[in-house]
Structure 1
């Protein structure tokens, strides 16, 4: 056990300040609980999440999938179902002409043709599994 002695400026209302801090702390705890619930709801609603390096955006542009994957809302894609046909066509083109797209492999080595094809196939799989899912992109 120890003894603490505090010195405050003259005129400082210690009791009022302590009461305000206690009240604010109670509000903070309520906000933390609300935030935890919102995070839980977000995680529960999320069906899947996939990630690919932005270094492959030129490959995506070349095959016509940049807007589909990076900016779907700009071309009216809001649900997974709407991505299926463009992805099928893009994957078909990628697989049919690998050398045409391998030239877009980034020089820094982060990401490559194989990664992009695999990513597109995973996205297509999710679109088929969750066709009514709402799409959100963060680039």
Structure 2
């Protein structure tokens, strides 16, 4: 145990300040609990979360998958089911012409053709598994 001595400016309302701090702290605790609940709901609702470097966007553009993956909402894709056919077609093209698409490997080495193909396969797999899932692309 210890003893603390505080000196405050003359006229400072210590009791009001402590009451305001306590009230605000109580609100903060309630907000933290609400935030934890919201984050839990978000995590529970997440069926899949896949990530790929933006450095592969030129490869995606070249094969016609940029809008499908990076900006689905701009072309009316809202569910996983709507991504299946474009992904199948894009993957077929990628696999059929690897040398063409390897030319889009980023010069800085962050990402490459193989990573992009694997990413597309993973997205396609998850879209097939959860066709009714809502799509959100975080950029």
TM, length-normalised to structure 1:
0.98
Is 1:17 the equivalent of 2:17?
yes
Q: How does 1:33-112 map to 2 (within 5 A)?
A: 33-112=33-112
Alignment: residue pair count = 139
- In 2, the alpha carbon distance for the partners of 1:78 and 1:43 equals 19
- 1:34 partner SS: helix
- In 1, the alpha carbon distance for the partners of 2:24 and 2:55 equals 46
Displacement, 1:128?
A: 0.3
- 2:61 partner SS: helix
Aligned to 2:138: 138
- In 2, the alpha carbon distance for the partners of 1:69 and 1:3 equals 61
Displacement, 1:5?
A: 1.1
- In 2, the alpha carbon distance for the partners of 1:39 and 1:127 equals 23
**Structure 1 residue runs of 4 or more that deviate by more than 3 Å after TM superposition:** none
Displacement, 1:10?
A: 1.1
- In 2, the alpha carbon distance for the partners of 1:2 and 1:46 equals 48
- In 2, the alpha carbon distance for the partners of 1:95 and 1:129 equals 22
TM, length-normalised to structure 2:
0.98
Where in structure 2 are there 5+ consecutive unaligned residues? Answer: none
- In 1, the alpha carbon distance for the partners of 2:3 and 2:91 equals 72
Displacement, 1:78?
A: 0.4
- 2:136 partner SS: coil
Displacement, 1:2?
A: 2.0
Aligned to 1:26: 26
Where in structure 1 are there 5+ consecutive unaligned residues? Answer: none
Aligned to 1:128: 128
